[in-house]
Structure 1
């Protein structure tokens, strides 16, 4: 069920039956025959392997499992409607053009085609991604343009690219399908089966203690849950979060958040410090000057990162030329190797180097950087509704982060 392209008309029928407690009423509203609706519900129940409605002489009544899926189905349909509205707004579609009930006309295959083209930039690759022939995918894509009265695709030097309207529509379509996958997971959880996958986007600081601790805790209580950790630049991870490819982003917070469709939650505060190998020449000095720091080679984060900004400010505010020999790196393993084999200095989180300090590999230099406190925490989509397992993992992250305070 979670990997299938859903029949959106059947999904709507499911919701209407739940609202009216009547298949005949639903038949009139969604323009499907009563046998077709009955068969659609039966397919859902077969896919979930659980009863979604109780049939009685006075109507059909949704079960507890059905209520779980109903929430997700309604949210998915709302994402589809919002995606259409936003796409029309961006494309400046005039009133009267296209179908006013477009959300009831588009199919799951058409939206899957839209998402696949956005991902691959190629009709052939998109067809393989969806699992249909190229002519079928091309037809689905062009039907979507015809129904919506919008230009969705255009040729580029790299292949096929989406227009801005299509991009936003594809994003909301992905959110809709993610919602249905959440519904599948919740029903399995209701049946007592640990399934599902939690995808975490992580920045360097969280990888040494908070994340391993939280993962260990959740896998002890829910051994069937799959955990996927994605490392990367903040901008890439944020994109994945907003497009439902990532569930939770953990690391240094941006204040204010860079966009209003995500929310941030501080878990603890971190401070930066200067680190070197234990037998570095500067460790023998009780007082260290900026001039002495500038005389050694450094390892810095990439430009644009908050820590790199602190490094630049360290020398700029004191009107001193910064060190000439710089290596940009974000991998703690690489940074540790460079520090151990040279006289380089780096600016890092004290928490991030916790294990290296305990093992006697790295030491903090006695140099006052001023106020370098920064909030570390969780970033999630504003409209995200976690499953029970995801909510437990959030709690595990909060508990692990609380130890750092």
Structure 2
């Protein structure tokens, strides 16, 4: 996994040569000398360790891997161009300051500084996070302001705040860098050295069986690929997907979709259940009613979750004169501890407590919940183009979902064989 992007001037030259199939025409379009263009392409090929062009008598033609990388470069540069235009529209540029098309002048150092400061909100911490000195990152950030002619950073009580123009530019920069990272991963895959780093956002249900099973399949069938699963609340993880920090998100889908720049891909429907510990008095009954359960303390999921929404909006437990909700938490560890310690009740997916259900640690109470099914699926950016390795991991997730989800009592952890995926 590469940590720093190449020289952006080299990327622009590469794009020009690929489009023109001519060093001389590309040099004219880029306002560079022909030797400078030739040198830029040679340095980029050396850095990437692959030939990007076939040098023919009638011109320069991209190689197979060159064409793959070109698509990533074009997307990355398009993100930067869009980001600079949106930033110029949102910011107040003083007359005579900055360049109109300043995306063509941006450097990797300036973009790294912008992203680092946007995440750390502090120059010292940002410098430490990317391993450079504070004067260096401060200089890069201020150079970026001079190039754009826009106010990007403002002093705040807690450190540094970003202006609206800086926010949109930082978001587009992160998407551009994510696109380039995918290009680097594709080149490494082409060289037989695939070390793709997949970052997936994991909502609670996906963490217990779906993702562990899919990750195990991926690890067993690839030598160097790394997967990082990030826990968090839905809003945080969705933000990460839209910023390019996460490749995709696995968990309960939202209806309607909260924003229009994402795609929600359904995998399976997951019904909810009322659950208690095996020692609970109601666990020994053949049927129970909602009124029976109101006599016991509840551990409720947050209202913002699909299960919490069902509990409060459909069962309307919060509108009762004396609500039984005594604890609010989405922590499975805390939930398991409470339900096995006392006579608590909660609402949750049986798939989410698959292991506890199979071991008899938690049991569903005999009551049906009408229209409680929520759709579990994948969420990713509308313009996201997964690499071959990312597509393979997605295929594992889809296959595990198709084979394993339904009645949890009919499944075991060993029910999915690797050869069923191939």
TM-score category, normalised to shorter length: over 0.9
Deviations along 1:227-267, one digit per CA (max 9) or x if unpaired, are 10111111111111111111110000011111112110110
Pair 1:94–1:379, CA change in 2 (3 A):
farther
Q: Within 5 Å, give how 1:62-141 maps onto structure 2.
A: 62-91=62-91, 98-141=98-141
Q: Within 5 Å, give how 1:222-233 maps onto structure 2.
A: 222-233=222-233
Pair 1:344–1:318, CA change in 2 (3 A):
closer
Say whether the 8 Å CA contact 2:317–2:323 is kept in structure 1: no
Aligned residues between the structures: 405
Partner of 1:255, secondary structure, is coil
Say whether the 8 Å CA contact 1:315–1:322 is kept in structure 2: no
Q: 1:295 maps to which residue? A: 295
Say whether the 8 Å CA contact 1:9–1:30 is kept in structure 2: no
Q: 1:309 maps to which residue? A: 309
Note the C-alpha offset of 1:115. Answer: 0.8
Say whether the 8 Å CA contact 1:83–1:173 is kept in structure 2: yes
Q: Within 5 Å, give how 1:204-243 maps onto structure 2.
A: 204-243=204-243
Pair 1:318–1:262, CA change in 2 (3 A):
closer
Root mean square deviation, CA, Å: 2.0
- State the distance in 2 between where 1:145 and 1:80 align: 15
Pair 1:65–1:262, CA change in 2 (3 A):
same
Any unmatched runs of 5+ in structure 1?
Answer: none
Q: 1:27 maps to which residue? A: 27
Deviations along 1:203-233, one digit per CA (max 9) or x if unpaired, are 1111122111211222222231101011111
Say whether the 8 Å CA contact 2:6–2:44 is kept in structure 1: no
Say whether the 8 Å CA contact 2:5–2:180 is kept in structure 1: no
Say whether the 8 Å CA contact 1:54–1:63 is kept in structure 2: yes
TM-score normalised by L of structure 1: 0.94
Q: 2:142 maps to which residue? A: 142
Any unmatched runs of 5+ in structure 2?
Answer: 407-422
Q: 2:420 maps to which residue? A: none
Say whether the 8 Å CA contact 1:76–1:177 is kept in structure 2: yes
Q: 1:380 maps to which residue? A: 380
- State the distance in 1 between where 2:28 and 2:318 align: 75
Deviates more, 1:268-277 or 1:185-194: 185-194
- State the distance in 2 between where 1:34 and 1:131 align: 35
Note the C-alpha offset of 1:94. Answer: 8.7
Note the C-alpha offset of 1:95. Answer: 9.5
- State the distance in 1 between where 2:198 and 2:229 align: 8
TM-score normalised by L of structure 2: 0.91
- State the distance in 2 between where 1:175 and 1:318 align: 41
Pair 1:236–1:322, CA change in 2 (3 A):
farther
- State the distance in 2 between where 1:258 and 1:27 align: 45
Partner of 1:380, secondary structure, is strand
Deviates more, 1:162-171 or 1:333-342: 333-342
Say whether the 8 Å CA contact 1:253–1:264 is kept in structure 2: yes
Note the C-alpha offset of 1:366. Answer: 1.2
Say whether the 8 Å CA contact 1:275–1:362 is kept in structure 2: yes
Deviations along 1:140-198, one digit per CA (max 9) or x if unpaired, are 22222222221111111001110111001001001111111110100111122221111
Q: Within 5 Å, give how 1:19-58 maps onto structure 2.
A: 19-58=19-58
Note the C-alpha offset of 1:139. Answer: 2.4
Q: Within 5 Å, give how 1:346-357 maps onto structure 2.
A: 346-357=346-357
- State the distance in 1 between where 2:117 and 2:208 align: 37
Note the C-alpha offset of 1:315. Answer: 4.6
Say whether the 8 Å CA contact 1:295–1:323 is kept in structure 2: no
